[in-house]
Structure 1
């Protein structure tokens, strides 16, 4: 992943020599000479914490509608498609300067006049999820208090009190500037997830739910309508793409192998947790399992601690929603219609790989400086006040979040990564010759070979890259189409299936 500003005068070097112009791969790239502060481990922790949330508690119910076999396959499929969307984001980031990757930057580069729509969708989605976290806190904490003692009245069982109290916890976390600063809170949140997993597995192993257990279907499903109603729950459970670019910007040495392993580890770990909870929870209650399995367990100290673990988890996940929401809101407020071409220059010696600057004329560095000062504080304060007001005013956002998730989550998980990569990887696009140079430089390791062997190896590598790029571009378009189908399906489900007369 090279920085092309560092090699502006070598665009014609390939025809002259295939051996002498070679150098060691990515480790010497200027893109990696300015490493970010975040380690691979902390990046995995933050991404995994963004993925695994309260949605894990609904996995057993989703499995009950599909049957154990189909449900497990859907969980794996959802993880695969979400992981592919994350991978396309890492590929798109190669076209941007180190530390400037964002949906807004890619929008300015590919679909400049639609950038505001993309960022608005991300901001709305993240804001809605953040509000839902505060509502969960207000709904669960009175029950936690009652579980620890006989409390019938007073402020300790008032949901507004607990929303206000936990705002004092999330406010300082929301003002942290880097995602890497949240790695310790993410560890605590993942510890809460681990407790919930242990609790579900324990009840399954203990067999203390047999009295309430319904039929268990390994293959048979409950029908098309219940399955379609549960499908969005599984798809949205992997949504973490809003934070991927921030993680790439902060990751130390974001080489292709490190970013790919980061995605594989995070998605694989999340899928393992989902399958384990889904299977053990479903086998515990069968078709009688409810949407939140923790709420179904009989009153006990362990169940009360489990509810408290959910509160801790969502409270510490709230800043992970504010971070991308703030960045997207800032981009929306800065947006102006493009009046000039955003194509990168072709001529050698160009100082930059792209011209992604908004019409304000501010550079990326200047934008970050502005956002890090008064603008950063104002945007964060506004988001906190608005989310707090919504949380104490509304007792349930199920209907709103259903539509927000159907549109926002689907857009950033599938549609945007697919469309961005399909556009930016066009063989005739002005960005391709730059990435081709990067790929040539990464084919190092054969300085000692005869020139004919080196040329043959280079040609073979080039043919493989062309074949891989062609199929990757086709798959990116397929992911975008798949995202549109998922969006339509989810909207139909939310409008016509979940909006039953019982509601």
Structure 2
């Protein structure tokens, strides 16, 4: 779940760190995934967002003092890692299956390095621009257009994250119900229809939580999401050594009991050599689905709205210290992503689906361990969706009616509209791959490549345009434009080809 990432930030340094404030913030000392919350406005008056500069107007931009941070180095690493990891991890094996191992590692390395470089640009721009709000940096750099670009990109990324979470509900909840109720014949059972279940979960569980004005305990669920993904990775590695290959022979043999292979099936697989190529890893692959690899990777590494708030809360704050936090977090997620993609690919090879967890059911059925993983993932994503809705609703509210007082009617209408729109996407968009691809090629490319470099070029005045740093940022900006236009163009061509061929 290239998943949005929000958290708790103290607006006032003398705020009680053990309590929740009336505007919905909560203590950041807990490992939450919500570090972008402040960057997307809280439900308070707009003037309360200007806390960074009001008492420092007489200072130069890069001398602005922010309130002292209270979060340790280790907790900041955990928070940023939590902000990076998300539902995107479920699509990485699919990306490797359509690029090959070597090409995937090359792309993963470049995307992670580029993401880290954009964090460097963002931190330097924040120091020079005197703001730790993503949208405020956009406003300082390019006025209303910059603010809308930042706000729109973060909103699109959040909607993509919400959609990917609800896609997991659509894919996995029917399988969990089927396993728990031991149902064989699924024909005509509405409660095994993923579309109906998404609507039911959205409006029975998610909507009441999303209508809360204060996030409260939902902040605690973010740590659960990271732990869930670590558990998922462990299971993926273990299953590689339990599932025989070639998987094609398993499908043809169709000899399983309670989701596990019988001895006869295992013997048939061991003696079958006709599908040996199916189990041979490939290192470079180019096909129509390869175009989704870079968007999936960029979607998986987006955490930039969370970087500035985490930087603000870092104890003994300095740009070098925050860069060290970022390097450790990105390296940890690089290893996690690589292992998840590699072991998922080496389990199913070319049969990997766009959502890895669903592939296990399609090929080997469901056992107790996979059932526990599914339940953990479902709980985590269901409780994360309301947290993701919060910044989207706040952004819409402050864009449409920034001066009006809080209204429960307006609050409810915006919440229901956001949730209904996301449900329509999940129901009518064919696969989670399309969500990963589109959001990764558009909003994620903006947040990683284009906006940090554009803000840096405009706001960092002490470096001339002909300096190495500015030229590097300009090249980074141009590369982001190429990635976005190229990826979007190829994805649209793939959609057109699928439609003309009778696909989606």
TM-score for the superposition, normalised by structure 1 = 0.70
Identify the residue that residue 145 of structure 1 maps to in structure 2: 177
Identify the residue that residue 236 of structure 1 maps to in structure 2: 299
> Distance between the aligned counterparts of 2:163 and 2:337, measured in 1?
24
- Is the contact made by 1:210 and 1:284 (CA closer than 8 Å) also made in structure 2? no
Shift in Å, 1:272: 0.9
> Distance between the aligned counterparts of 1:254 and 1:195, measured in 2?
32
Identify the residue that residue 89 of structure 1 maps to in structure 2: 122
Aligned-partner SS, 1:95: helix
* Alignment of 1:490 onto 2:481: no
The residue correspondences of 1:184-223 to structure 2 (distance < 5 A) are 184-212=220-248, 214-219=278-283, 221-223=284-286
Structure 1 pair 474/312, CA: closer, same or farther in 2 (3 Å)?
farther
Identify the residue that residue 91 of structure 2 maps to in structure 1: 58
- Is the contact made by 1:55 and 1:237 (CA closer than 8 Å) also made in structure 2? yes
Identify the residue that residue 121 of structure 1 maps to in structure 2: 153
What do the CA deviations read for 1:109-166 (whole angstroms, capped 9, x no partner)? 1111412243223223323432442343244212211112235546576412223343
Shift in Å, 1:420: 0.3
What do the CA deviations read for 1:172-213 (whole angstroms, capped 9, x no partner)? 788328xxx766322211111011101110011334344448
- Is the contact made by 2:128 and 2:460 (CA closer than 8 Å) also made in structure 1? no
Q: Pick from 419, 428, 448: which aligns with 1:388?
A: 419
What do the CA deviations read for 1:239-261 (whole angstroms, capped 9, x no partner)? 12233333334444432133112
Identify the residue that residue 138 of structure 2 maps to in structure 1: 107
Unpaired runs of at least 5, structure 1: 12-25, 336-359, 361-369, 430-465
Structure 1 pair 207/156, CA: closer, same or farther in 2 (3 Å)?
closer
Structure 1 pair 404/68, CA: closer, same or farther in 2 (3 Å)?
closer
Identify the residue that residue 289 of structure 1 maps to in structure 2: 352
Identify the residue that residue 46 of structure 2 maps to in structure 1: none
Structure 1 pair 317/84, CA: closer, same or farther in 2 (3 Å)?
farther
Identify the residue that residue 369 of structure 2 maps to in structure 1: 302
- Is the contact made by 1:197 and 1:273 (CA closer than 8 Å) also made in structure 2? yes
Unpaired runs of at least 5, structure 2: 1-51, 249-275
Identify the residue that residue 475 of structure 1 maps to in structure 2: 472
Q: How many residues align?
A: 405
Identify the residue that residue 167 of structure 1 maps to in structure 2: 206
Identify the residue that residue 272 of structure 2 maps to in structure 1: none
> Distance between the aligned counterparts of 2:70 and 2:412, measured in 1?
26
Shift in Å, 1:320: 5.0
Alignment root-mean-square deviation, CA: 3.5
Shift in Å, 1:485: 0.9
Shift in Å, 1:426: 3.3
Structure 1 pair 136/49, CA: closer, same or farther in 2 (3 Å)?
same
What do the CA deviations read for 1:354-403 (whole angstroms, capped 9, x no partner)? xxxxxx8xxxxxxxxx8xx727x777644531232234445143557744
User: Whose Rg is larger?
Assistant: 1
- Is the contact made by 1:37 and 1:250 (CA closer than 8 Å) also made in structure 2? yes
Structure 1 pair 385/6, CA: closer, same or farther in 2 (3 Å)?
closer
TM-score for the superposition, normalised by structure 2 = 0.70
Shift in Å, 1:327: 4.9
Shift in Å, 1:473: 2.3
- Is the contact made by 1:110 and 1:420 (CA closer than 8 Å) also made in structure 2? yes
> Distance between the aligned counterparts of 2:92 and 2:104, measured in 1?
9
The residue correspondences of 1:350-499 to structure 2 (distance < 5 A) are 374=406, 381-394=412-425, 395-397=427-429, 398=431, 402-427=437-462, 470-499=467-496
> Distance between the aligned counterparts of 2:101 and 2:435, measured in 1?
30
Structure 1 pair 301/168, CA: closer, same or farther in 2 (3 Å)?
farther
> Distance between the aligned counterparts of 2:243 and 2:384, measured in 1?
32
* Alignment of 1:226 onto 2:265: no
What do the CA deviations read for 1:85-129 (whole angstroms, capped 9, x no partner)? 1222111211344xx522221122111141224322322332343
What do the CA deviations read for 1:233-283 (whole angstroms, capped 9, x no partner)? 122211122333333344444321331122112211211111001111112
* Alignment of 1:278 onto 2:278: no
Structure 1 pair 57/39, CA: closer, same or farther in 2 (3 Å)?
same
Identify the residue that residue 72 of structure 1 maps to in structure 2: 105
Structure 1 pair 6/239, CA: closer, same or farther in 2 (3 Å)?
closer
- Is the contact made by 1:203 and 1:209 (CA closer than 8 Å) also made in structure 2? no
Structure 1 pair 288/269, CA: closer, same or farther in 2 (3 Å)?
same
Identify the residue that residue 28 of structure 2 maps to in structure 1: none
